[in-house]
Every structure is written in structure tokens, then in C-alpha cells.
Amino acid sequence: MPDQGVGSFERGSRLLEKMLGPGEARRVRTAWRKLSPDFERYVLTFLSGEIWSRPGLDRRTRSLCTIATLAALGRSNGLALNIRMALRNGATRAEIVETLLHIAPYAGFPAAWDALVLAGRIFAERRRGGAARRRLRGGR
Amino acid sequence: MPDQGVGSFERGSRLLEKMLGPGEARRVRTAWRKLSPDFERYVLTFLSGEIWSRPGLDRRTRSLCTIATLAALGRSNGLALNIRMALRNGATRAEIVETLLHIAPYAGFPAAWDALVLAGRIFAERRRGGAARRRLRGGR
Amino acid sequence: MPDQGVGSFERGSRLLEKMLGPGEARRVRTAWRKLSPDFERYVLTFLSGEIWSRPGLDRRTRSLCTIATLAALGRSNGLALNIRMALRNGATRAEIVETLLHIAPYAGFPAAWDALVLAGRIFAERRRGGAARRRLRGGR
Amino acid sequence: MPDQGVGSFERGSRLLEKMLGPGEARRVRTAWRKLSPDFERYVLTFLSGEIWSRPGLDRRTRSLCTIATLAALGRSNGLALNIRMALRNGATRAEIVETLLHIAPYAGFPAAWDALVLAGRIFAERRRGGAARRRLRGGR
Amino acid sequence: MPDQGVGSFERGSRLLEKMLGPGEARRVRTAWRKLSPDFERYVLTFLSGEIWSRPGLDRRTRSLCTIATLAALGRSNGLALNIRMALRNGATRAEIVETLLHIAPYAGFPAAWDALVLAGRIFAERRRGGAARRRLRGGR
Amino acid sequence: MPDQGVGSFERGSRLLEKMLGPGEARRVRTAWRKLSPDFERYVLTFLSGEIWSRPGLDRRTRSLCTIATLAALGRSNGLALNIRMALRNGATRAEIVETLLHIAPYAGFPAAWDALVLAGRIFAERRRGGAARRRLRGGR
């Protein structure tokens, strides 16, 4: 494991940008940094640069497992971020909803409900965002 | 949805047997029935016959998401069963361990640890079981 | 269990309407359907049409146990719905508050506090709703 | 609230004995005292002498709500104690099982399973205990 | 334990006022009383008057342990109150953030994130409040 | 942050040994490595080498906050390890019990009970271990 530290920070930054898009990655990093610069650093170095950079599972599967976990635990900020990331990691909206239906009997229907409400809000936001971008480009 | 009830019980029974093997499926169904015949019926009809029978996600992904969820919530009987099922649903031991490493920073390292201990026990059991079966067949 | 599927959907729809009133039942079903038509179907068929339709416990007791469970787990959408249902299932406001006081030392005072805040909001809503209806009818 | 302190300790001791039987109450109090004399005192004074002594809900309903809560949270020592207490507080075995089936879709089937296993063990213990007592009295 | 009841109510009221300041203590007590007068009484008598009044640990350490616990369990009203109290119990903002970073790998990074967001909001409120008070006194 | 990776692995190994004693540190590292070599590496590098190595809070306070968190979440392997570590990090048995009493009304008495049972077992183990070592040295 030579120079893992520096390497994992760079790797984590690039991967986060890839999984969220540059604008959203910048926004969430600024938010983390404002809460605590070390929180931002750990998320980039360890979560993104180590855990998510591991080869053993593809990113779409990692996204769905993370969504299942955070829906079960009821963590809203992390769940919202991971629903956004899942869509760029190759999971479809239908697969995200399917994952939440799947865990309903395991974590309880109310946990799935709370998460479906959050997912619905994010999907709607992106529909509006997509429509706005299409209008800007002159298409409808 | 015509005759969903009867249909889903049959479908669920067959799927559980496929995902656990006939011996283990019989054992767990007997255990559930002894606790409560309706508990057995709901698991077969609803969890196995409805949720797990849905087309939107392959069974290997469903297994890994279930393992992530139950490790996060610390439910040992369900986690042990789902680790056994995952191995027949196409997940490797390495992928199960990978899933538990992945959720460590989301549900906490101690949740991953407790689940890794359980998974290690099940893997060891099956190694012993496999060795016993090989000896019975005249192999090593 | 002949034709349990169709039967339980109908039974569940009628029971939900009874436990919530037609207007609120329509609203929540529309919300569930928009999130996922299968989520709506499972809640009606399985939760309402099977679990809540069982004879072994009266609906008031079921409501109080559900409120205790969801307060402990911190699931807000489900808790709000079940507080509304409890009032139509024969539980008084005082009994709902009593249930939340009772679980304070079991699930922690902060879980009870969060749930009491939600309950207080629902009780206030209904007082205003009741006052509005009385004014409409020419009363007070 | 004059002399609530002394009063609630006495009231709590008597109520615990009533809800558990003298032998079991002595055993659990000794266990608590060994862990921490203040833990024993708080349980008697506050949980038993205050919360459980309140008039707003009957003890059978309190028992079922407590069982639902502790099954959802996966607390085994407390759950075992409360299953024993429930049987003396007027809840039948069938009602305890019914409560656990009821919360399965709210807290998840695996939470209900873990709790049903514990309940099954306690019911079996008591059957053996009852049979032993009947033999001692010269009956079968 | 003579006259523990009355004594602990008085002791708890004074300690809460000390840990929150008179204005905030009045506000939160009014809020609790409105939800349920007994909830207010139990918090003052038992949590504040007994648990927090014990000598075995200093109040700063108690505050940090409570913040860790409530962040792990995701209880927002209680967490917000305890962050406010911690600042008067001798913990600095940096120590509160440090506690939340510390539990990130134990309760999961998303639990720490949700709590850091809440802490950030409270710190900002107090900065604004402090600035307003300084302006009132003819400063800044 | 140059060469953080290599540095933090070494730092983490030394700190774990200091917090657990060489024998216990070796045992737990072997157990982690057997479950997954990467699990061992992350715990040493990230938890021990980063989080626990931070200056902002003394180790005794970190230990008590970790115990509070893991008792609330019911994670037994991690809780047992952290109770052992706390005793070497300067916390007394009385302070560990005090922490568990303190969180009883926040995480619920049953969570505190389960943790007190685990702590009691570890304290007894160490008393026996200490007595055995004293006998070996020719003392009582």
C-alpha cells in the first residue's frame, strides 16, 4: 500500500465527480467542507477513494445496496445523495424503486415509504431539471 | 391479478426450495410453522411468492441488497438465511464479504463485523458439509 | 385459502377506507400509487387485507402497537398515518399520548418526544378541521 | 406529588412482583442489582412505579405495546422479560404471537422472526415448568 | 431516599435552567407541557433531576455521550436540545464536531452527516443570536 | 497529507496495541484478518490510525462516547472490544456503568440492560484473569 493516502484522496475526488457530475460534486463537497473539512476529506479519501474504488462489485450493485442500507436506517441526506449517484452509476429509476419495494418486508413498509417519497422528489427534480436544460438548448 | 393467493403460495414454495435447496427449505419451513403457521404462510406467499418473484431485479442483486439491509439492522436469523440463499442465487463468498465491507462506513464497522462473523460461520459450516459429502461419495 | 389474492385486495381497500375515512383513504392511495402502483397494491392486499384483517387482536390494540413500533423506529409517514387511523379505530387522543409515554423508557425519551410532536400536529389539524366542519354546518 | 420517591419504589416493587411472580421478580432484581444497584432502583421506581402504574391504559395493552417496541428494536433481555410479564398481565400466547405477526410488515419480518424464536423458547420453558409442577403435586 | 420525588423535580428544574439558560428552558418546558404535562414532569424529575444530577461523570462528558447516542439513533428534537446544552455544559463547538466525526465509523457516516447539518444550523443560529445581542448592547 | 496511508497503518497498529494490550490486539487482528484482510486493514488504517489518532478529544472521552453509541445500536462484538479498550484508555468500571446508566433514558432501558450484561461479563473475566496472574506471581 505505498502512498495510499494521497492517491486515495485524488482517486476519491475523481470518482465522486464521475458518480455525481461536476456541479453536484462541487456543491456537496462545499457543504461537507463547511460542516467540517475533515468530514469532507474522510468521505473523499475513505468512502469514495477506498470503499467505492474497490473492484469486487460493480458500482450499480454498490449503489442499490447502499440505497437499501440507508432506507433501512432512515438517513435522509445520505439516501438522497445515493439515489442521485445511483442514476449515474447505471441504475434506472425502476431499479431504485424495485430495490425499495424489495426491502419493504425486511426493513418494514414505513421505511420503504419514507424512502420512496424521497426518491420521488429527486426523480421529479431531475425531470424538471432535464426539461429546463432541453428548453435552454432550444428543444422542448 | 386472478387467483394471486393460491398461485403465490405455490410459486413461493417452489422459489424458496430453489433458493435454499430442498433440505434446508424443509427445515426452515418446519421451524417457521412451529413458531406460527401464518408466519410460514406469509413468508412463502408474500416474501417468496410476491417480492422475490418480481422481475425487476435479478436474484443475486436482491440477495446482496437483503444482506446489506439485515446486516445494518442486526437481524441474525434473517441474515443467516439470506447468506445461505445468496450463495445459491449466484453470489460468491467474495461478493458477500465485499457487500459487508461496502456497508461498513454506511451502517458502521461494528454492524459489518457482527455480520462478517455470522458469514464466516456459515462459510465454515458449508466447507465442512461439502467435505463430508465428498468423503461420502468416495472422494477425498 | 381459495382466491385469497383478489379477496384480500377488496377486503384491504374497504378496511383502509373504514380506518381512514373515504377522503383520506383516497388521498393516501393516490400518493402510494404515484410512488409505485405495486407499493399501493401490497399495502392494500397484504397489510390491510391480510394483517389488519386478522381476528386475533382488536383494531384499537393493533393501532396502539403499531404507533409504539413506528415511534421506536422513527418512521414519520407511517406514524402520522397510523395516528390518524388509531383515532378511527377507537383509540382516544389520551390513549395515543399514553402509549407514547409508556414507550419512552423502552425506546428512549427522544423517540417519544419526536412522536409526541407529530401527534400534537395531527390532533391540532383535526381540531381545526372539526371546527371548520362545524362552522360549515352552521354551528359554532 | 408529595413523597412520590419512596412511594414509587414501594409501588414499583409490588407491581413487579405481581407482574412476574415472586420468584422471577426476585431473580431479575438480583441480576439488576448485581449489574448496578441504581439500575435496579430506576427500573423499580420509574419504569414499574411510575410508567407501569399509570391508569391510562390497561396492563395487557401496555404489555403488547412493549413487546412490539422491543421486538422492533431487537432488545433480547427486555423482550424476554416482557413476554413473561405479558402472560401474567392477561395476554395469551396467541395474542403475543399475533402482536409479533402484526408488526412484521412494520418492523420487518426478520425482527418478527427473531422475536418469535424468543417467545417460542419462553413458552416451551413454561410448558416444561408447568408439567414439572403438576407432577410434583401428584398429577400427570 | 427520603422525599426523592419532590426533591428531584426541583433539582431537575434548576439543573435544566442551568444547562439551557432561563429563556430556552422556559420555551422547551412549555413545549413539553403542551404535548403532555407528564412528559415534562418525567423529563424534569427523572432525566434532569436523577440521571443528569448523578455525580459519577462530569456534565461535559455526559453531553458528548448523549450527542453520540442521539446522532446514532437519528432523534432530531433531542439531538438539537443536547447540542444547545452541551455548549453550556463546557463542550466547545469543535468538541461537538469531533464527537460526531468520531462516531462516523461506528454509527455510519450518514448518521454523522445528518447530525453535523443539525449542529451547523444551531451554531449559525447562535452566531446570529450573539451578534444581535452584541448590537443591542451597543457593540458592533 | 503526504504518505498518509502507510503512516496511518503503522500509527493505527501501535495505537490499537496500546489501547488493547499486545495479546488482545494480536487476537482481535487475527480474527479480523480471517474474516477479511481488508476489514483488518481499514480498522487499523482508518478507525485506529485516523479517527482515534485525532487530537480533538482525549481517549477516555472517545471510549465513553463509543460505548454509548454501540450500546444504543446493540452491536455486541464492537461493544465488548470497546469496553475492554475503555479500561486501558483511563475509564474506570464505575464510569463505564455510569455511561450506560446515563444513556438508559435516551436509548431505552433495555439497550442499557443488554450492555450492562456484556460489561458485567467482561469485568468478571478480567477479575478472574487478574486473580490468575496474581496467583502465578506467587501472590494470593
What cell was used for F45?
488504517
Handedness of CA F17, F22, F27, F33 (dihedral sign): positive
The verdict on a CB contact (< 8 Å) between B3 and C3 is yes
Distance, in Å, from the CA atom of B35 to the CA atom of B81, rounded to the nearest integer, reads 16
Closest in F74, F100, F116 to D74, CB measured: F74
> How many angstroms separate the CA atoms of B71 and B93, rounded?
15
Q: State the pLDDT at residue A137.
A: 76
Cβ A49 vs Cβ A15: under 8 Å = yes
pLDDT score of C139: 52
pLDDT of F21? 97
3-state secondary structure of B107: helix
Q: Using the beta-carbon criterion (under 8 Å), do C120 and E34 form an inter-chain contact?
A: yes
Q: Please answer yes or no on whether C6 and B3 come within 8 Å at the CB atom.
A: yes
| Cell triple for F65 | 462516547
What 3-state DSSP class applies to A109? helix
pLDDT score recorded for residue A130: 78
Q: Searching chain E, which residue's CA lies closest to the CA of residue B102? A: E108
**Chain E residues contacting A, CB < 8 Å?**
74, 97, 100-101, 104, 108-114, 116-117, 119-120
For residues B76 and B54, give the distance between their C-alpha atoms in angstroms, rounded to a whole number. 25
Residues 6+ apart with CB under 8 A from B100: B67, B68, B71, B112, B115, B116, B119, F36
What chain E residue is nearest to D41 in terms of C-alpha separation?
E1
Q: How many CB pairs under 8 A join A and B?
A: 89
* Partners of residue F74 in chain D, C-beta under 8 Å: 73-75
Flag if E103 and F69 touch (Cβ within 8 Å): yes
What gap in Å lies between CA A39 and CA E109, rounded to an integer? 9
Contacts for D110 with CB less than 8 Å, ≥ 6 apart: A106, B70, B73, B75, B77, B78, B79
Question: How many residue pairs from chains A and E have C-beta atoms closer than 8 A?
Answer: 47
The pLDDT of C112-137, averaged and rounded, is 90
* B to C CB pairs, distance under 8 Å: 40
Distance from CA of F112 to the nearest CA of C (A): 10
Q: How far apart are CA B110 and CA F69, in angstroms?
A: 11
B113·F36 Cβ contact <8 A:
no
- pLDDT by 10s per residue, chain D, length 140: 334 445 999 999 999 999 999 999 999 999 999 999 999 999 999 999 999 999 999 999 999 999 999 999 999 999 999 999 999 999 999 999 999 999 999 999 999 999 999 999 999 998 888 788 778 776 54
The answer to whether the Cβ–Cβ distance between E110 and A38 falls below 8 Å is no
Residue type present at position F40: E
Is a pLDDT exceeding 90 seen at residue A24? yes
| Cα(C85)–Cα(E101) distance, integer angstroms | 40
Closest residue in A to C31 (Cα) is A117
Contact E108 B110 (CB under 8 A): no
Q: Give the DSSP letter string of B19-66.
A: HH-HHHHHHHHHHHHHH-HHHHHHIIIIIIIIITT-SSS-HHHHHHHH
Q: State pTM to two decimals.
A: 0.94
Of the pLDDT bands very low, low, confident and very high (cuts 50, 70, 90), residue C4 is very low
Looking at residues A60-70, what average pLDDT do you find? 98
Burial of residue A135 (number of CB atoms within 10 Å: 0-12, 13-18, 19+): exposed
Q: What tens digit of pLDDT does each residue of B75-101 get?
A: 999 999 999 999 999 999 999 999 999
pLDDT value for E136: 78
Q: For residues B100 and B77, what is the distance between their CA atoms, to the nearest angstrom?
A: 17
D60 vs C129, residue with greater confidence: D60
The whole-angstrom separation of Cα C120 and Cα D122 is 38
Please tell me whether the interface predicted TM-score (ipTM) of this complex is above 0.85.
yes
Neighbours of chain E (3+ CB pairs under 8 A): A, B, C, D, F
Structure-block grid coordinates of residue D8: 414509587
- Supply the pLDDT for residue F135: 81
Going by C-alpha positions, the residue among D35, D59, D36, D46 that lies closest to residue D11 is: D46
Residue A86: closest CA among A49, A113, A122, A140 = A122
CA dihedral of E3, E27, E19, E64, whole degrees rounded to 10: 110
Residues of chain C contacting residue D97, judged by C-beta atoms under 8 Å apart: 56
Contact A57, B93 (CB under 8 A): no
Which H, E and C letters describe E74-131, residue by residue?
Answer: CCHHHHHHHHHHHHHCCCCHHHHHHHHHHHHHHHCHHHHHHHHHHHHHHHHHHHHHHH
CB C126 within 8 A of CB C104: no
Residue E6 has pLDDT above 70, yes or no: no
| Digit-coded pLDDT (tens) for E46-69 | 999 999 999 999 999 999 999 999
Q: CB F5 to CB A5 under 8 A?
A: yes
Q: How many CB atoms lie within 10 A of CB F124?
A: 11
What pLDDT digit, counting tens, does each position of D73-114 carry? 999 999 999 999 999 999 999 999 999 999 999 999 999 999
- Residue ranges of chain E whose CB lies within 8 Å of a chain F CB: 46-47, 51, 54, 56-57, 61-62, 64-66, 68-70, 72-73, 75, 78, 94-95, 97-99, 101-107
Determine, for residues C108 and E75 on separate chains, whether the beta-carbon distance falls below 8 Å. yes
Which of E101, E113, E120 lies closest to A78 in CB terms? E113
Mean pLDDT, to the nearest integer, of C37-58? 98
Do residues A42 and F44 make contact, with C-beta atoms less than 8 angstroms apart? no
Helix then strand then coil, in percent of chain D rounded to 5, is 85, 0, 15
Q: Residue C137: its pLDDT value, please?
A: 76
Residue A25 — pLDDT band, cuts 50, 70, 90?
very high
How near does any CA of chain C get to the CA of B128, in Å?
Answer: 39
pLDDT above 60: residue E140: no
Band the pLDDT of E5: cuts 50, 70, 90.
very low
Please choose, from the candidates C13, C8, C53, C19, the residue with its C-alpha nearest in 3D space to the C-alpha of residue C33: C13
- Nearest-Cα residue of chain C relative to residue E70: C110
Rounded mean pLDDT, A116-133:
91
Residue ranges of E strands in chain A? none
B138 pLDDT band, cuts 50/70/90, is: low
Provide the shortest C-alpha distance from residue D70 to chain F (in Å): 8
CA separation for the pair F89, F82 (Å, rounded): 10
What stretches in chain F show pLDDT beneath 70? 1-6, 138-140
Mean pLDDT across the stretch B5-29? 94
Who has greater pLDDT, E138 or F127?
A: F127
Cβ contacts of residue E56 below 8 Å, gap of 6+?
A: F94, F95, F97, F98, F101
Secondary-structure percent of chain F, ordered helix, strand, coil, rounded to 5: 85, 0, 15
Reduced to 3 states (helix: H, G, I; strand: E, B; else coil), residue C138 is coil
